Structure 1
């Protein structure tokens, strides 16, 4: 039985990861973080079988705030004491009033919130939990293909996800004594709630650049995450999943 921590697990890729974790035949225990929408978390919980309800604990914490992140890790340590898998899936883009902010309109607060949420707080979550991660444990970060190939439409997002790539490789050396495998997934354009307001023209323009000529599905990314976690020889890797973006 594994003890698993998943952040931002009630929407998009995180939700798909949760369902994959629950589809196995093991009796793994899972702590699922969500940031804001308690109704959605309750709906997911109520939709689960009675067996799976006993496997999952939902905990609300806004992981863009250091204080709530610390309360969250304190809860995890009290609940689990030791952890096998950590899946850090939380990420935000630079937005104001629901609209993406371009580089020329950034202010310090916008920049620092994205860096804090996407890079700094995941780093300090691992720091807080370092003594509680079991030997031969697994840490999986959610980076982005934008962290590999810069995306000027969201500069700070790209920078934060590039930081996650470096963090993944750097932490590998720090945790060598416990043989902890650390990897990151780097998705391209994935069909998630983030894409709700995208126009048909935008879809068509992007799909022309993707060899598969479509956006990816959350389930496809989730399956890759689970396969990576289950493979003991994948370590220190940044695994891209973007359908062949940039080949056209």
Structure 2
């Protein structure tokens, strides 16, 4: 009897996991069927809070996100997802105004699909985004660096280099989100409305609240002898800093 000496080959990677955040069950069922038929794994969230919980638990490869979700809308969900890292997000919505598309892209959406849609096209868009984002293998650690500042998005830590040593910044969640948002595009000026949607907790609707949080962040940095961050741009909003 011969010994075939068969060695197991490498284990193929699991199919990509797509988290579908959609409150209309008929639409979700159609998307699930098409995605599974294409070899993708799926999970379904029916409201905004569930979407964030499942995202934290499952670490999906892509989030298909409806804007008009119960309890927590898609803009708030996208903002929170972006504060956690770079999970690819495709917005799925009945809104077809250019301003809505621009809002999604400014907040970090990777693509935008308008209802009514062709499910096969949605699958094609998802596959295109996954090819682009998975081409480099496992995602690199998400770290932002601008000047002496460093933000680790994975561990949610912010620090600054002072006198040859790295010092941790004790920031509130909102202050952390503000600093991270400004550091992503340090030369860009963000309006108060953008920062309100991007960085402040659900329920805060007054743009002047942004000024209060920015002022507190600035005072913490000034205590470390860091001046002009964030920088005010009169009549527009804020940017990372005058020297960026």
TM class, shorter-length: 0.3 to 0.5
Between structure 1 and structure 2, the one with the greater Rg is: 2
Q: Which has the higher contact order (CA 8 A, sep 6+)?
A: 1
Q: TM-score, normalised by structure 2?
A: 0.39
**Structure with the largest fraction of helix:** 1
